[in-house]
Structure 1
């Protein structure tokens, strides 16, 4: 018996509970939760699926994730899948969802993003290779490498400029990012030095401000016109913006 998933319609409304293999066989839409990961330099994680994978073996992808369980939210499933496949526990932020018809069967992809600040320990049964690529590098190879069709479409939507996220939403994510960081972890670039704590703005910042700093460093907030204390003027990067399918 394969895992149970929720059979949904073209509007992502739940119709019932079925086995995932049955959903694929019958071409029934079901939900998949995924996350696009960035590191502190703003690069995007690219993985190559293991050759033993039943779906798209050996294909590249920018999404890490899997099926949403019965009664599970997209966000809960995305966080769980990150832990299972990459061995990391970090906050995920819901970005957008879309119905993808290009894969083995139609699925609703719930796409999230996360800033990863800890070492990755990929599950070898899921991931054969991983690497961090800049946006420019990704754009250059996404149509040349053998990418999962849904991952290629998600990447294009993710990089597409969209409406800005509201300030409260960005700040909640910033708090989560700061809370997930190891105690005493520095957010300053390599080689950064201050003569005293008074001269080091990072050491005096609130958790929200530390989180905003981390998002800026990862390229998820625009530095133009941003205030150093994070009180006003923060511009979400297109990757952190709320988008619609």
Structure 2
């Protein structure tokens, strides 16, 4: 069954319900929610996408997430994606949202944070490999062309935050 998303405008107001593939094909704005996962030491979870993934196969990313479902909030989508991708139920908090022009298509990107205190169980269909990096290590690694391009832009914006909010704790 096709994944349904809300087509939105330049101000993130809902225009219609469409299939995600159609939104990408027609370059229609839709919503994506992601999460920066940190461990209690402040390191950031980095993962590699599976080689057979339809979007950015074999590329690295520091964000976990996906499309916001119809009627779902960014925060709910971010929490749902954490459960689906790494098997963790944790509180997420929106840090910032921006209109991402995207390497494949444009979308509104909600970037959240969560502190992960429990063991993770990555879904092999979503994550081929993972590790925890310090922010300095990630800053060096993310310049590589092996990272998802949209993740590089989001990291630049994330780094520009003067005083990131306190991170929520895993539940």
TM > 0.5: yes
Name the residue aligned to 2:110.
110
Name the residue aligned to 1:66.
66
Structure number, greater radius of gyration:
1
TM-score (norm 1): 0.67
In structure 2, runs of 5+ residues without a counterpart are none
Distance 2:93 2:126 in 1: 23
- Provide the aligned C-alpha RMSD in A: 1.5
Distance 1:161 1:66 in 2: 23
Name the residue aligned to 2:85.
85
More helix by share: 1
How many equivalent residue pairs?
Answer: 171
In structure 1, runs of 5+ residues without a counterpart are 181-245
More strand by share: 2
Contact 1:86 1:120 in 2 (8 A): yes
- State the structure with bigger RCO (CA 8 A, min sep 6), 1 or 2: 2
Contact 2:95 2:164 in 1 (8 A): no
Deviation at 1:161, TM superposition (A): 3.1
Deviation at 1:102, TM superposition (A): 2.9
Extract structure 1 runs of 4+ deviating beyond 3 A.
Answer: none
TM-score (norm 2): 0.94
Cα shift readout 1:46-85 (whole Å, capped 9, x = no counterpart): 0111112111111111110011000000000000000000
Name the residue aligned to 1:3.
3
Q: Secondary structure at the match of 1:96?
A: strand
